[in-house]
Structure 1
Amino acid sequence: MIRFGVIGTNWITESFISAASEVEDFKLAAVYSRSIETASTFAEKHSIAATFTDIEEMAASGQIDAVYIASPNSFHAAHAIACMKHGIHVLCEKPIASNAHELRQMIAAAKENGVLLMEALKSTMLPGFKAVQDNIDKLGTIRRYFASYCQYSSRYDAYKAGTVLNAFNPVFSNGALMDLGIYCVYPLVALFGKPDVIKATGVMLDSGVDGEGSIVLQYESMDAVIMYSKITHSSLPSEIQGENGSIVIDKISEIGKVEIQYRNGTSEDISQPSNSKSMYYEAKEFIELIRAGRTESSINTFANSLVTLEIMDEARKQIGLVYPADAIETK
């Protein structure tokens, strides 16, 4: 069994536990929260034996082999490095870090301590994304990648009423790009690598984070267009356009239906059945990697995570989105 600790007690942690519980060799052993009351309540709900309010203590306790990190983005690097120094494997919720500088430090810690580090970006683990990879050659020469993820945030109403929750607080390295835009950027990187040119625009909110934005990226023979938002809603699908046809993806963040629409008017459904719990696949990949003694995923690779953050760093620079965590890189 792989004994897991969880850092964070929010809804995403609940979703991870539910999905990971269906993976062989998963055992939930510990929970960390800044509040002992919160940790105890969560532990009781999920029958967790050990509770902690100190990361170092949990990492050194001998009671966990791996950790799932779902703390606010600004804490990801510190929490991950503290765990890896004690030989703990780390599955870290997206975005894996506040910026590329932090991720480089995390990768160095993973290599130094011989442990697995993986970004918990679920969409590239789904059978639907594998279907895209396996069939993309049918499109001929690729000319454009288009991805859209615009979802009106339930916390935006509170923001407009004067309450700035974590989702719109730059202290926690948050905002639309980090929360939703990454779902558009990461698959692009996984499919096509690093772009040559990045041009970004966005709408900044008074709190200091972005409410929505767009990125145009140029490659040698194609371009990419990305739209994301937490202050508007859209049902647009995403699309990869080639000279022979297009792959249409129903939802870039949680790929389900995938269809090739050929230029001659025919279509081909290449969708793949998947577990109803979308986080199942990232948990399965992570546990299988540990069992195999591997320290890097071949899907959510260090390179993919790093290039994704480099793109987002540049986009943030262009729209004036700065986090307190960015200041550390300049010291």
Structure 2
Amino acid sequence: MIRFGVIGTNWITDKFIEGAHASQKLQLTAVFSRQLDRAEEFAAKHNVQNSFDSLEEMAASDTVDAVYIASPNSLHASQAKLFIEHGKHVIGEKPLASNILEVENLISLAQEKGVVLFEALKTSYTPNFNVIREALPKLGKLRKVYFTYCQYSSRYLRFLNGENPNTFNPEFSNGSLMDIGIYPLSAAIALFGEPNSFTAQGVMLHSGVDAHGTLVLHYNDFDAVITHSKVSNGYVPSELQGEQGTLLVQGISDCESVELHRMGEPSVTLSQWQNDNTMIYEAEEFARLIELQQTMHPGLARTQIVSAIITRAREIIGVRYPADEIV
């Protein structure tokens, strides 16, 4: 059993713990919070004895083999670095780091220390994402790809009312592309690899982050259009259009359903059953990589490509983070 600690005591941490335990390969043994009483309260909820308000102490603890990082985006890289230096495996919430240089530095350090570094971006590990991959030949020559994820942020009203929540604050390396657009972008890279080129557009908020935007990835025979938003809700499915047929994907982040429409044939639902908590699949893959001691894995290459695109796209749009000045 792989013993892991968590950084962060929010709802997404609860979901990961649930998925990790469901994998039957990971066991929560430690909790960190800047406030010890909060760490203890969260640990008690999960029947865990080890609580920390010092990251250094948890990183050095022999009660953990790995750590799940669900802190604000801007802290991901420094916290991952600390645990890697202590020989711990790291699964970091998306985005793994604020920019491509931080990502590359983490990958180099993880290779040097012989530990698994893994971005917790669940999409490509779901069963229905594999359904999409296997169905691509049925479409014939691919011509158009539209991946969309638009979700009105629960914190947007606070922003409009003059507050400065983390999710719209560049200090925390946030914004629509980093928080929302990363899902459809990562899905496209997982399916098609690095594009020949890309274009980027975004609409800025006065805080200095993007509210919504569009990426267009240019491949040899088709373009992949990525749309994302934190200030509006989207309900249309994503599409992959080929000369022989089209795939409709509802909810690209989880790949909730997949439907095939081939010319002259009835539509077919290809979706498989998935666990309601799709974080179980990334947890299983993380554990598998640790068991195999596979420190260099396809997920890292995808993370690098995605981070490089987002870093350059932010430059084009004009989104600049304090973290960009450090590396």
TM-score range, shorter chain: over 0.9
Identity %: 47
In the alignment, structure 2 segments of 5+ residues that lack a partner are none
State the match for 2:90 in structure 1: 90
- Which residue pairs with 1:325 in the alignment? 323
Q: 2:43 maps to which residue?
A: 43
- Counterparts of 1:221-240 in structure 2, within 5 Å, are 221-240=221-240
1:227 CA displacement: 0.7
- Tell me the TM-score normalized by structure 2: 0.97
Per the TM alignment, residue 142 of structure 1 is displaced from its structure 2 partner at its CA by 1.0
Superposed CA deviations along residues 225-244 of structure 1, whole A, max 9, x for unmatched, are: 11100101110100111111
1:311 aligns with 2:318: no
1:143 matched to 2:143: yes
Residue 32 of structure 1 pairs with residue 32 of structure 2: yes
RMSD: 1.1
State how 1:62-81 maps to structure 2 within 5 Å: 62-81=62-81
- The match for 2:241 is 241
Q: Secondary structure at the match of 2:251?
A: coil
Q: What amino acid maps onto 2:312 in structure 1?
A: E
| SS of 2:22 mapped into structure 1 | coil
Q: Does 1:9 align with 2:9?
A: yes
- Deviation string 1:107-141 (CA, Å, 9 cap, x unpaired) is 01110000011110111110000001111111111
> What is the letter of the counterpart of residue 91 of structure 2?
L
Amino acid at match of 2:20: A
Work out whether residues 296 and 302 of structure 1, in 8 Å CA contact, stay in contact via their aligned partners in 2: yes
Paired residues for 1:282-297 under 5 Å: 282-297=282-297
Q: Name stretches of at least 5 consecutive residues in structure 1 with no aligned partner.
A: none
The 2-side partners of 1:302 and 1:279 are apart by 18
Cα distance, 1:265 vs structure 2: 4.6
- The answer as to whether partners of 1:208 and 1:321 remain within 8 angstroms in 2 is yes
What secondary structure, in the 3-state scheme, does the structure 2 residue paired with 1:188 have? helix
Partner Cα distance (1:226, 1:205) in 2:
20
1:274 match: secondary structure: coil
Contact 2:111–2:296 (Cα < 8 Å) also in 1: no
| Alpha-carbon distance between aligned partners in 2 of 1:54 and 1:198, rounded to the nearest angstrom | 42
Count of matched residue pairs: 327
3-state DSSP of counterpart to 2:149: strand
Stretches of 4+ aligned residues off by more than 6 angstroms: none
What letter is aligned with 1:315? A
2:183 match: 183
> Could you tell me which amino acid in structure 2 is paired with residue 2 of structure 1?
I
Aligned pairs for 1:143-182 (under 5 A) are: 143-182=143-182
